[in-house]
Structure 1
Amino acid sequence: MQKTALVVGARGVIGGNLVAHLEREGDWRVIGLSRRGGDDAGVVRNIAVDLLDRNDTAATLAPLTEVTHVFYAAYQDRPSWAELVPPNLAMLVNVVDAIEPVAPRLEHISLMQGYKVYGAHLGPFATPAKEDDPPHMPPEFNVDQQDFLERRQLGASWSWSALRPSVVAGVGLGNPMNLAMVIAVSASISRELGIPLRFPGKPGAYTSLIEMTDANLLARATTWAATNPGSRNEAYNITNGDMFRWCTMWPKIAAFFDVDVAPPLPMSLTEMMADKADLWNTMVEKYGLLPTPYQDVSSWQFGDFVFSWDYDVIADTSKSRRAGFHDYVETEAMFLRIFQNLRDQRIIP
């Protein structure tokens, strides 16, 4: 039976890589939802929609009667943890309210989460985090979204799954949470200025353990959880499978960009990179790069957030392995592959 995926948030680094993976699998039709929409190509149809507008969402999704799987990866950023809850919960509710009544073959709703479920954004948390760890004090929109799906699924014929990656790395522009772009653009600017690459985060962050999640691996895990009968109504931590410290990874990243490494120097990337738009535009012209607005090439606030983690950020992935997902990606190789991909696409010099 033909499967039709509705990818919500199809233009983000997670959603975009998921769409590409579904195309490669070959047995999916894909409908991508995003605020900006996009061009249709092959099995992929893109639709623009404002998910915060309940009426627009209902009207736009009403014709999508063929949908069998919803992959939810949409996100709206806000200044505080409490402010994140209303819009991000509302978007999910609007999608489910719109698609469930019109898609009689709906089998599964996949929810993209993260380590905020464990309180990783608040400070040192119990590591390695496990899917059944006790909850922390709200607000937390990831938790509210899962609670909504669990309640909504009772008595329904469809199932849900929740994927909990670490920091996701992949190729994607205009995304508020893309650490690979933060590193690539800051390293490229450092080389252009003739200065060494310095780790900008807190001193403790340089030596703490951290892990990453490759966007392609996450896409494979997402479709696995959505189609594996044994994964119905379960949450899974998904990571590359290795851990590292920035103090050992940073010199390897610097070597790729052919820049020296100097001792870490805590600084706010949001502040230090605020005046670099003219420099970036000059680099775009000088190196014949893809014309990309400076505000779309990186997410400095997210970089500041990740580089402030002066505590271990790791999760236990044994649950997904016991259930049958065994993919592994070496994180150093992942970074170098993404950086080379960015060069090949003429996004960075």
Structure 2
Amino acid sequence: MTGTVLIAGALGLVGRAALAEYEAAGWDIIALARRQPEFETRARFLSVDLTDAEACRAALAPLRDIGRIVYGALYEKPDLGRGWLEADQIATNAAMLRNLLDALEPGNPGLRHLSLLQGTKAYGVHLGQMPIPGKESAPRHIHPNFYWAQEDLVRERQARASWSFTIVRPQALIGFALGSSMNLLSAIGCYAAISRELGVPLVWPGAGARYTEATDVRLLARAMFWAAGAEGAANRTFNVTNGDVFLWQDLFPLVARRFGLEMGAPHPMSLAVLMGDKGPVWQRIAVRHGLAPWTLEQLIGGSWQFADFAFARPGQTASILSTIAIRQAGFGDCIDSAVMLDEWLAELQRRRILPA
């Protein structure tokens, strides 16, 4: 089966992976992004400001034959953690999805599925120790979250529509995107490369021992593609992770080997602070190694803040999700997280995004 899929946020971590998955499957793709892609693709790219209802209608209402939507667009505030709880961040993300659906639904009666992204903040992981494991059947957490505003909108629309939806909840997405607010891969790789350039060992900058999981964006894209065509995934929510559990500090020796570094003594420190003045160091690295012409800011976005959040959470011992539901529904893909991390670092070196 093929058709036309619209991917919102097509150059983000999730959107890029979904684009690659649908392109490989032979689908026609309409991709929404603020900029043009820096890679070759058959997708038709449109620049649309999803916060502007009138602009959405002008750009999207003429589109026809949309069979699926992958919604990966996201608005984050400069102060990442504080923004997660603020009313304007919630309202903006809800309005973006509403504007898209208002523009697309009337002219696309053949729409059959919407993939919607959430995450472990659904279980309150950003507020303190979450219940272990996080289960989709748990009552909605009391904290304010744009997830709930978007989900309520989608459930209300779906009740009178011919399409279904699937909500996916990954943890610690690993993949590549420029300027993402939550790109651990680029943060880890750039931190290691800068450490090597400065002639210092690679230091684990986190604090405590928190067992956790990750989700390869390629695996997430396969899960969303599967869910869009699986009857048992209709109008359901699924946790999606790689399938194993680890400590981030146990993966840092792998990173050190990839960059030819020794491991130094662990030292808790904020990467957002430590890396704040390292733009010139990165430019020096990029020139010497003939890397893609992007600044450190373009590569990392707000991800130093997210790395600090991922690596040091006082009082938390674990963030682990149950993936029983999606396995019982029929999707069982998995990948070793250490293998995944090394594959992705090697791939970014091959693309000359990171130095070899």
- For the superposition of Structure 1 and Structure 2, which TM-score range results when normalised by the shorter chain? over 0.9
CA-CA distance at 1:42 after TM superposition: 5.5
In the alignment, which residue of structure 2 is the partner of 1:25? 25
Is 2:267 aligned against 1:265?
yes
Distance verdict in 2 for CA 1:2–1:21, change over 3 Å: closer
Is 2:320 aligned against 1:318?
no
CA contact (8 A) 1:181 1:297 kept: yes
CA contact (8 A) 1:39 1:46 kept: no
C-alpha distance in structure 2 between counterparts of 1:149 and 1:251, whole Å: 43
Higher mean C-alpha deviation, range 98-107 or range 302-311:
302-311
In the alignment, which residue of structure 2 is the partner of 1:14? 14
C-alpha distance in structure 2 between counterparts of 1:91 and 1:107, whole Å: 20
In the alignment, which residue of structure 2 is the partner of 1:49? 48
* TM-score, normalised relative to structure 1: 0.96
In the alignment, which residue of structure 2 is the partner of 1:252? 254
Paired residues, number: 345
Structure 2 letter corresponding to 1:31: I
- Which segments of 5 or more consecutive residues in structure 1 lack a partner in the other structure? none
CA contact (8 A) 2:124 2:143 kept: no
In the alignment, which residue of structure 1 is the partner of 2:73? 74
Structure 2 letter corresponding to 1:72: Y
Deviations 1:212-265 (A, max 9, x none): 000100000011111111110000000000111123212122111111112221
CA contact (8 A) 1:171 1:341 kept: no
C-alpha distance in structure 2 between counterparts of 1:279 and 1:199, whole Å: 20
Distance verdict in 2 for CA 1:42–1:288, change over 3 Å: closer
In the alignment, which residue of structure 1 is the partner of 2:309? 305
Alignment of 1:1-349 (within 5 A): 2-26=2-26, 28-38=27-37, 43-78=42-77, 79=79, 80=83, 81-82=85-86, 83-201=88-206, 203-204=207-208, 207-298=209-300, 299-309=303-313, 310-349=316-355
C-alpha distance in structure 1 between counterparts of 2:353 and 2:267, whole Å: 27
Distance verdict in 2 for CA 1:25–1:38, change over 3 Å: same
User: What secondary structure does 1:23 align onto?
Assistant: helix
Structure 2 letter corresponding to 1:277: G
CA-CA distance at 1:41 after TM superposition: 5.7
CA contact (8 A) 2:48 2:56 kept: yes
Q: C-alpha root-mean-square deviation of aligned residues, in Å?
A: 1.4
C-alpha distance in structure 2 between counterparts of 1:195 and 1:38, whole Å: 35
C-alpha distance in structure 2 between counterparts of 1:42 and 1:126, whole Å: 41
CA-CA distance at 1:266 after TM superposition: 1.3
Q: % of aligned pairs identical?
A: 40
Deviations 1:80-116 (A, max 9, x none): 2224201111101111111111111100111011011
Deviations 1:47-78 (A, max 9, x none): 00000011001111012111110100011112
C-alpha distance in structure 2 between counterparts of 1:272 and 1:116, whole Å: 26
CA contact (8 A) 1:37 1:49 kept: no
Higher mean C-alpha deviation, range 304-313 or range 269-278:
304-313
C-alpha distance in structure 2 between counterparts of 1:59 and 1:2, whole Å: 26
Deviations 1:174-200 (A, max 9, x none): 211110111000000001111111121
CA contact (8 A) 2:171 2:215 kept: yes
Structure 2 letter corresponding to 1:259: L
User: What secondary structure does 1:30 align onto?
Assistant: strand
Higher mean C-alpha deviation, range 291-300 or range 104-113:
291-300
* TM-score, normalised relative to structure 2: 0.94
CA-CA distance at 1:43 after TM superposition: 3.6
CA-CA distance at 1:39 after TM superposition: 7.7
Structure 1 letter corresponding to 2:349: R
